[in-house]
Structure 1
Amino acid sequence: MKYVKEPVIDFPSEFEQYTPKSDIQATVQGNDVTGSMTVEYTFVPQSVGDFTIGSDKFVYFNPQAKQYVTLNTPTYPIKVAKGVSAPVTADQKDVENKNSDIRHIYLGDKNPAKEHSMVVLQSWYWFLYLGLLIIAIALIVMNRRNTRLNADITGRKTAKASKVARRRLKAAEGFMKAGDSDKFYEEMLRALWGYLSDKLAMPVSQLSRDNISATLSSKGYSEESAEAIVSVLDDCEMARYTPDSSSRMDSVFERGVNAINQLESNRK
């Protein structure tokens, strides 16, 4: 019973229709289900005259006759007359409120006209177009410039390696003149390891005595240049744990400066 569809009644187009309300009463007795389905249709005529409410078909299968049966709802002729003043009920007031949301068709001037012009013919359109084009070109140029600069970070860092090393060597020279051997050798090692890190584009943590020579050789530096700077590193490491190493500070400093200059000028 609950799955029976509501009949679709053919109302005249002059009638305003509302959602039907269904009331289903079903009783189960054994294997049989009996009951009734009542459908209430609400409509409001919008014009005066004679109308006919059309019928609908209801099709069901008769298991006893083993065939489909078609029932037709009756048609209803209706004559709509002009109403008279009467007290307005709650349902009628609701209908009146719903009927007020659509205004009547305008019956005035039936030949409205309006001039139209294409946007591409307006001057402001082309100014806006050129402005956006200039902004787009500027963004593309800036993006390419930033990409090029970011790609050349390693190259710039390598080029500045000798300047940074010489600045650190100057600090080591100050400790040498002050006779502070511990800080001198510590600053020499910091200058040499930092120089090699920048020059080879490798973090200090990955540098070792063995891969320095191999990496310098792969980048086109001579073996003599690689051995010279590795030898200075060995001497600095040795001097930190050797007593009376202050006498060799002049020699180590000079060899460190020469090793850096040799790497800067001596390439295969």
Structure 2
Amino acid sequence: MTMIKMKTLLKHNVFTLLAILLLNFSYAQEVTFTAATSHSVVKTGDRFQIQFTANTKIANFRAPKLSNFRVLTGPHQSTQMSWVNGKTTSTISYTYTLMAVKEGEFTIGSAVASANGKAIKTQPFKIKVGKGVKVHQGGSQAGSQTKSGGSASDELFIKSTVSRRKVYQGEQIIATYKLYTRVGLAGSELVKNADLNGFWSQEIDFGESVWTKEIIGGYRYSVAKIREIVLFPQRSGNLEIDPLEMKFIVQKRVKSGGQSVFDQFFGRVENVEYSLRSKPIKITVLPHPGNAPNNFTNAVGRLDMKVDISSKEVKANEAVNIKIKVSGKGNLPLIDIPEINFPSDFETYDPKINDNVKTTTSGVSGSKEFDYLVIPRHAGNFKLDPIVFSYFNPSTKKYETISSGPIEINVLKSDGSASDNVVYSSSKEDIQVLGEDIRYIHTNNIVFTNSDTSFYGAWKFYLLMLLAPLLFILTYIFRNKIRVANSDVAGMKKKKASKIAGKLLSSAKQSLADNNTSAFYDDISKALFGYIGNKLNIPVAELNQSNIKDKLTQLNVGEQTSKDLMETIELCDMARFAPVSISEQEVYNKAETIINQIEQEVGK
């Protein structure tokens, strides 16, 4: 058998094998569309997930009405592929995270979609909601938040302010959101950021929130800044900044109802959820005056321009850099490229843009640089038109124009070395001489090898043919072992729970060393919640105090350990909004002790 025939036969066998494998992967399946929930029995304030899953590609997905619950997130779409018994299956899922807000038994209706041109729907199912944490739903907004018994507006509210309410288009304003409280806070959650339709925005990083004291109406409030942004209105007219919405867990003292004198005097603390929103802010945006220069491109502020040329005398085919730097205070991120009219003898490229812009509590300032690289192709004395930049100054209410003056570049004759072979890529360093890349054809004597010494037909070839099936079998066995090990997701999470928590505790220790209190408490909270979720196999949607306590009790974890865990979690939430009596090092030691104690009591 000739070598060519052997190659043809080998290719034919390979393609046949691939075809057989592909046929094993594909199979007909019935379309299924199902609904499931992480928990069918919950309490008010509990979070849970619902998921709608199809085993094929679907279109026109429409969820059922969820008005009896608060939708926290969703829908989150995900696709998953699996290989079982040599068959490949794929599923597509839509997941919602909900919160139970009122007691009762509620029906979640059918989700509908279409698959292969046919309508499909899920079966409805019920969710039973028992009594838990009080959840106050949206009511009348007196000032800036949902009220409860008329007390929330006096004790807890969000105040929104802007630096100016009447500005020109493109003029920057600063919006600030502050939290005022006279009550203890156990937690918070951002529900919805303020919509900024009609504005270009830039967040201000003011670091960790600092609590101050303010007296309003004879009451002393703790005040903290929660958000600050720089806004640039992009169109004229009356614009509105929509409310910012947050949820807070408020610690309220209630009567215990016990007969003890201590119960009647001190009562007990109950966590109550409040939904707060800031007031909308109306901004009047004035248009620019009508006498704008022709080269005005909506630059607004107090600005300056400088032009720098790398060399005013070069040889033909040598690169020249022309840098235009616009600096000052204003809408620098939105400034367009100033136009330059280059001679036809100049080869030009898109400029590199370098931003050196800072956003602080006083606004946006800094510089923006446009770096042009041009290559004059012929000798001569070239004179470029002045580079002109115009902007609108809101302080003077006038347009101002800056000119660089004429730019002269004297181009000398090239020395002739590879002058016609210059290519520009994207920067000065990328210019290459093509002549140096050309390699001549070698004219050495060609040596032909005998076919008997080739790989095909040699003993190595036949050895490889014998080893190939063995390698395939070993690979299949190895992958199957990995697949079985990975299928026990809960076991893997439980095994790695302590290690993952240890990494987060190390991060908390670093935050403590950096004196970053906010990041420290955030890392401690993540370490505890993450450890409990992985160790006890509790889904994220069910990670609440009630479920954690129940699970710890089932596993015979000591009551003191469970109590210490709950107290530390609550302490981390509280520390984000108010000072706590315990030191950070004590919190770290306590978290480490809790994890070690649970490891001993639950087992590895």
TM-score interval, smaller chain: 0.3 to 0.5
Specify the structure having the higher radius of gyration (Cα).
1
TM-score of the superposed pair, with normalisation by structure 2: 0.21
Give the structure with the larger helix fraction: 1
Report the structure, 1 or 2, having the larger strand content. 2
Higher RCO (C-alpha under 8 Å, 6+ residues apart):
1
Normalising by structure 1, we get a TM-score of 0.45
